[in-house]
Amino acid sequence: MNRTIPVLAAAAVLAAAVFLIMRPERADDSAPPAPDPGAAMTEVSVPPLTGNAVIGKRIFDSFCTACHGENATGRQGSGPPLIHVIYEPGHHADEAFQRAVATGVRSHHWPFGDMPRIEGLTRGDVAMVISYIRAIQRENGIN
């Protein structure tokens, strides 16, 4: 009986076992840590604000920051960043923001669920918020 094949098979199994035991761990073997709930989703540069954008920031801070984060950077687990290419004027015109506040929005770009309508804001108030958001978008290269 030929012993070469069983000896080679045993050597291959032994070599594989040694390799698996002795191999160094790769840094990418572990998953990245999950983001903290409520953490900002992006970083933005905020320009010096003037005129309607100053008023819009005050309104945004009162009505929108809880979900969309400070300076519209988004909030993990709550709401998306509005300083994002998805919300550029060519994709979400100013009227899209007006309608979102007035009627709410079904979830379609992000996994945060539906946005409810926001009570207590007029179209003029929302126009000020839009001025604020567009100023930050321009500062961050979103036109």
Confidence of residue 4 (pLDDT cuts 50, 70, 90): confident
62: which strand partners? Answer: none
Q: Each residue of 92-136: pLDDT tens digit?
A: 999 999 999 999 999 998 999 999 999 999 999 999 999 999 999
Residue 29 lies in a domain: no
Which are the contacts of 53, defined by CB distance < 8 A and separation ≥ 6? 128, 131, 132, 134, 135
Residue 94 lies in a domain: yes
For the domain that residue 78 is a member of, what is the CATH number?
A: 1.10.760.10
Asked if residue 53 lies in contact with residue 20, where contact means CB atoms within 8 angstroms, the answer is no
pLDDT of residue 23: 65
Residue 113 lies in a domain: yes
Residue 132 lies in a domain: yes
pLDDT of residue 9: 67
Sign of torsion over alpha carbons 117, 119, 122, 125: negative
Confidence of residue 29 (pLDDT cuts 50, 70, 90): low
pTM to 2 decimal places? 0.76
Range of the domain at 95: 52-139
Asked if residue 76 lies in contact with residue 38, where contact means CB atoms within 8 angstroms, the answer is yes
* Total of domains in the chain: 1
Which are the contacts of 86, defined by CB distance < 8 A and separation ≥ 6? 80, 92, 109
Q: What is the largest CA-CA distance in the chain?
A: 94
Residue 66 lies in a domain: yes
End-to-end CA distance of the chain: 79
Residue 69 lies in a domain: yes
Residue 73 lies in a domain: yes
Q: Is residue 22 predicted with pLDDT exceeding 90?
A: no
Residue 7 lies in a domain: no
